[in-house]
Structure 1
């Protein structure tokens, strides 16, 4: 069964990173309709801006945790598909 990591842009401009085993479309609808408690419920509407599929949920969860720890500019590089910028953005954090 596939699993997904996804990033939602919330109405306040913030980003939410999550993972699911459900269909990605179903999960986004749940966030959009306020069916899930927590961060996105009070920040609707939300828009799916990035996702990646994984074969195993454990890999998706590991990626979710990794991306949740990233600063905004690194998340935005991922959303843009600018993977070449990711190592530089990670290096800036260590300085």
Structure 2
């Protein structure tokens, strides 16, 4: 989602980031790890999201956008093609 630098102070409250344990599914062979979850401000509303502080871009599921921001497609910014990979397979960049 594009950032609006004109309205920096619309969200007054910022929650401290917190670390929680990611528990594996029973029978799966992967290790426990930690993930950072913090409240982010999008379109003047607060949303708890997991943040990868070491990543060079932010990734939000299309289903999440559809559920929380009905007009999200009108706000996409053009980007250069990126190859995105995850443990569950290839991801498609939409903007």
Per the shorter chain, which TM-score range? under 0.3
- Which structure carries more strand by proportion? 2
Q: Which has the higher contact order (CA 8 A, sep 6+)?
A: 1
- Which structure carries more helix by proportion? 1
Q: Tell me the TM-score normalized by structure 1.
A: 0.26
Q: Tell me the TM-score normalized by structure 2.
A: 0.26
